[in-house]
Amino acid sequence: MKNVEFIRVLNAGEIKQAMEVKLPNGKIAVAKRCIRSMCVERQYLLKEATMLKGFKNNGGKNNAVSFYGECNVPFDERYKTKNSVESKDEYIKSIASDLMGGGYTLLVEKATSFIVTNLNESSRKIAIQLGRCIAKNFTALDLEDFRTIARMYASTPVSPCKFFNPRRRGFGDSICLDQWAFTTNGIANIDVDQVWCWDGLSYEDALEYNCRVVRSLTRRAELNCSLAYSMENPVQKVEINQRIDFFHSIGDTCRNNK
């Protein structure tokens, strides 16, 4: 990681931090690191890396952010001597922007967010306020990407996965637009923290649940996520830059008309 250049912090959630970095080959990427001991002990980032690598090796269209690499540096004695959760959290947060500091670092593709926000705005609040307006303008290709992702999670190599634990209320973060972005391959879910995988799930059950999530996100109650539907209703491909420009123009229009 010593040749990876830190640029800036993009955002910090409750348990991890995302940073913009430059790789040795000049490519801009995102580095994710834990900022709470719970994230470290439950290996959230390692699980995310495993899932992204699984998508990459699963064949077919891959609507996921690209996995670039990982590095796990043992924590030094300063972390090991912390006796409380609070002191561990404080220490982990203090070294989060130090790419040579202890802990696990995940490197992934830097995607283009659905919603462009100002520094003084809450992207989650904007996602809720503008979601209905923006969803009306999803193109046929956008909807096909959502169908593909619903199927992709339901058919992961290890076990079928749902966007969220169905034993908990609601659909989790995946129904919010700030959890989605454009990658080089199309639309992708950029945060898999809440994805729930279980050997006992069937593909059909996982797909139906995932499709309920994207129906809610896209405001399309009748959205059909089956492979048969996609094969019978092919959509025309559009260059990703054109899709991004169009989507951001719609976001600006919706913001101005709110």
Q: Which residue has the higher pLDDT, 61 or 204?
A: 204
pLDDT band at 135 (very low <50, low <70, confident <90, very high): confident
pLDDT in tens, 12-53: 888 999 999 999 999 999 999 999 999 999 999 998 998 888
At 119 the pLDDT is: 42
Q: Check whether 189 has a pLDDT greater than 50.
A: yes
Mean pLDDT (the chain) is 86
Q: Return the bridge partners of 105, or none.
A: 33, 71
pLDDT in tens, 156-183: 877 899 998 877 777 787 888 878 899 9
